[in-house]
Structure 1
Amino acid sequence: MGYVTSLFARKMVAAVGAAIDPKEALAGVGIDHDAPWDPKVMIAAEDYYDLLEKMARTIDMTDLPVHVGASMRCDDYGALGLAWKAAPNLMASCSRIERYARIWTGVVTYELRPDPRGVLFVLHRPGERRLGMRLSNEATLASAVSISRQVCPVPFSPIEVFVQHKEPRSKAFHEAWFGCPVTFDAKLDAVLISHEAMTRPNILGDEGISRYLISHLDEELAEVPTSPPIVGQAKDLIARGLSEGTPRMADIAKGLGLSVRSFHRRLSEHGLTFQALTEQTRRELAEGLLRDERYSLAEVAFLTGFSEQSSFTRAFKRWIGTTPAIYRKAQM
């Protein structure tokens, strides 16, 4: 079962105000309203999405995720937030989120991706793009910008924000708060940050404190369970079968000794679909092969299950935002 920190649920409920009963809302996801706020207390991601969707039936949620993201503070994230502040620059701050986010969430991963205009801070969240997930993604992107502003010595705004789901009735509040264009119905969820902003020294950058915090975070990360065995085993089978084309769910389930129904249920428990897992495996395999110059682009296309290199190029551009050739050159 995927999880998220209870901090997000508490922030969402607090932002709604008197429109709902906060004690009842939090109790519905297993949180004691009167207990101290502890970001290490986790709740099931599906319960969190259910909570957001229930609130959306009562109030207009269009602007709320941005309000909640804007309310996030570095200190809310404990040692990870302190490591964000103590990093020498914003690039290093984002790198720490990319590496250590698994301490706080089991459903989201982050990626720093080069872009001709700067660096993309990409949010990956697999699973059905239900309303609760979409609202959560917006809040997460807004929180990334909020804590960036807290360490930047000059006023900070991204170059552009990308959101995969459809545009709301109005995006005026989004663009006013982010201070840049917000593109909905995009191919990814991400914040595009300029090279200048990424390399500008943070206000509180401290190398000594950073070393201590990184050591502490490494210890915490080592205690976090890795991907569930079923997911890792399924990805291995998918990767081995890609050279023969896109694997069928029935074949992978059989290789795991499961029925299709049981396999589907096990993936659902971790917020995954077979299609999403196959796509993720293909992308990760492609990225790894492209970093190895022994494989030509045609061979990488074949090994990731594409019959034509042009199809692979289109898919890779959809995943990463650039062509395989440009990605390989950047990695080299």
Structure 2
Amino acid sequence: MAYVTTLFARKMVAAAGTGIDQRATLERAGIDPDAPWDPKVMIPATTYYEMLEAMAEEIDVTELPVHVGASMRCDDYGALGLAWKAAPFLKASCLRIERYARVWTGVVTYELREEPRGILFILHREGARRLGLRLSNEATLASAVSLSRQVCPVPFSPIEVLIQHKGPRSKAYHEAWFGCPVHFEADLDAVLISHEAMERPNILGDEGISRYLMSDLDTELTRIKTPPTVVGEARNAIAQALSEGTPRVADIAKGLGMSARSFHRRLSEHGLSFQSLTEETRRELAEGLLRDEQYSLAEVAFLIGFSEQSSFTRAFKRWLGTTPASYRKAELINASSPAQIKH
């Protein structure tokens, strides 16, 4: 199950301004508008994407991800942001993001790749290329450039920006902000940075502080490698109960040997709600069952708690941006294709 920090969601909503009902938008995503901005509170990635897609129905979101990326500050990322600032040079900063990104998100990984013209800082994010994911990718790439500008002692711009999805009618705003060519419909989501910029000393580079922060981040990584026991147990209980319809929180809590109130509190400690956990469990089960041809679409719908196949189809399209039938067809084609070497 993939999660992202609510910090990103709050930044997106704030950047949208008065064009949307900010309070209602946050509440629909399961975020308390009145609560402090706590980056450690997470929401499911699918919920985040749905929120962005709902915003896109109300306002023009062409420039929104760049605005959000530009607004990100090193301090927003806690110890990870401080480790970025304290690294001796930009390449070391990027290497720390490559290593410790899981502290902040379970949906994105990063890779540094040497090229003749420079070094690619590559963003990897799995999943259907739905609008919410595309907007999130653009914001993430813009964030990388914004953070680079904050530590670079001279004006910084990458050599070029690569984005896999189709671009807007005009990319003038993107290129003006990034300060370089932006290529949509590319093979990668990445920022190409020159060797010179990568080796340039950071303004606040401090090796002593850097070692301390990396030790702290290593500890954080250790903590998140194993999913919280209560979350894993709850997910299993929900999965087993789904064939009988939508599970009731009281029944799941009782099966785990705790009160509903204690159960809610334990989930909230991990930035989760019972509703979001049930939704994510349904989606994961649906994806797995659809990859097995022995189950009809009606059977898959029943096994994950839907009384009607039409309701399942609508939910699945909301989750992944495609229908169950189309998803199954694509997965079966991929499974039958010869394995390819990744470069």
Tell me the TM-score normalised to structure 2 length: 0.70
The answer to whether the 8 A contact 1:162-1:189 is kept is yes
Does 1:60 find its partner at 2:63? no
The answer to whether the 8 A contact 2:108-2:123 is kept is yes
For the residues of structure 2 that align with 1:176 and 1:108, how far apart are their CA atoms? 26
- Residue in 2 that maps onto 1:287: none
Instruction: Describe how 1:55-204 pairs up with structure 2 within 5 A.
Output: 55-204=55-204
1:188: Cα distance to partner? 0.7
1:2: Cα distance to partner? 1.1
- Residue in 2 that maps onto 1:4: 4
Deviation readout 1:178-229 (Å, 9 max, x if unpaired): 0000000001100000000000010000011001000000000101135999
For the residues of structure 1 that align with 2:204 and 2:3, how far apart are their CA atoms? 31
For the residues of structure 2 that align with 1:227 and 1:217, how far apart are their CA atoms? 17
Deviation readout 1:101-149 (Å, 9 max, x if unpaired): 0111111110111111110000000100000100000000000000000
Against the structure 1 CA distance between its residues 35 and 187, is the aligned structure 2 distance closer, same or farther, given a 3 Å change threshold? same
Residues 173-182 or 29-38, more deviating: 29-38
Instruction: Describe how 1:1-332 pairs up with structure 2 within 5 A.
Output: 1-225=1-225, 305=338, 316=342, 320=343
Q: Report the secondary structure of 2:212's partner residue.
A: helix
Deviation readout 1:57-109 (Å, 9 max, x if unpaired): 11100011000000000000000000000001111100110011011111111
Q: How many residues align?
A: 263
The answer to whether the 8 A contact 1:89-1:205 is kept is yes
For the residues of structure 1 that align with 2:292 and 2:92, how far apart are their CA atoms? 40
Matched to 1:147, the amino acid is L
For the residues of structure 2 that align with 1:178 and 1:226, how far apart are their CA atoms? 38
Deviation readout 1:149-196 (Å, 9 max, x if unpaired): 000000000000000000101100000000000000001100000000
Matched to 1:39, the amino acid is P
Against the structure 1 CA distance between its residues 169 and 227, is the aligned structure 2 distance closer, same or farther, given a 3 Å change threshold? farther
Against the structure 1 CA distance between its residues 129 and 20, is the aligned structure 2 distance closer, same or farther, given a 3 Å change threshold? same
- Residue in 2 that maps onto 1:299: none
Against the structure 1 CA distance between its residues 119 and 222, is the aligned structure 2 distance closer, same or farther, given a 3 Å change threshold? same
For the residues of structure 2 that align with 1:226 and 1:184, how far apart are their CA atoms? 37
- Residue in 2 that maps onto 1:233: none
For the residues of structure 1 that align with 2:226 and 2:162, how far apart are their CA atoms? 29
Matched to 2:187, the amino acid is K
Q: Name stretches of at least 5 consecutive residues in structure 1 with no aligned partner.
A: 230-248, 282-303, 307-311, 321-332
The answer to whether the 8 A contact 1:162-1:184 is kept is yes
Q: Report the secondary structure of 1:132's partner residue.
A: helix
The answer to whether the 8 A contact 1:3-1:105 is kept is yes
Tell me the TM-score normalised to structure 1 length: 0.72
Identity of aligned residues (%): 69
1:260: Cα distance to partner? 9.1
For the residues of structure 2 that align with 1:79 and 1:219, how far apart are their CA atoms? 11
Q: Report the secondary structure of 1:204's partner residue.
A: coil
Matched to 2:41, the amino acid is V
Q: Name stretches of at least 5 consecutive residues in structure 2 with no aligned partner.
A: 233-287, 305-315, 321-326
Q: Report the secondary structure of 2:225's partner residue.
A: coil
For the residues of structure 2 that align with 1:2 and 1:260, how far apart are their CA atoms? 27
The answer to whether the 8 A contact 1:253-1:260 is kept is no
For the residues of structure 2 that align with 1:63 and 1:226, how far apart are their CA atoms? 37
Post-superposition, which runs of at least 4 consecutive aligned residues in structure 1 deviate over 4 A? 226-229, 258-262, 273-276
Q: Report the secondary structure of 1:224's partner residue.
A: helix
Deviation readout 1:8-40 (Å, 9 max, x if unpaired): 100010011111111111111111111111111
For the residues of structure 1 that align with 2:98 and 2:60, how far apart are their CA atoms? 32
Q: Report the secondary structure of 1:38's partner residue.
A: coil
For the residues of structure 2 that align with 1:226 and 1:11, how far apart are their CA atoms? 29
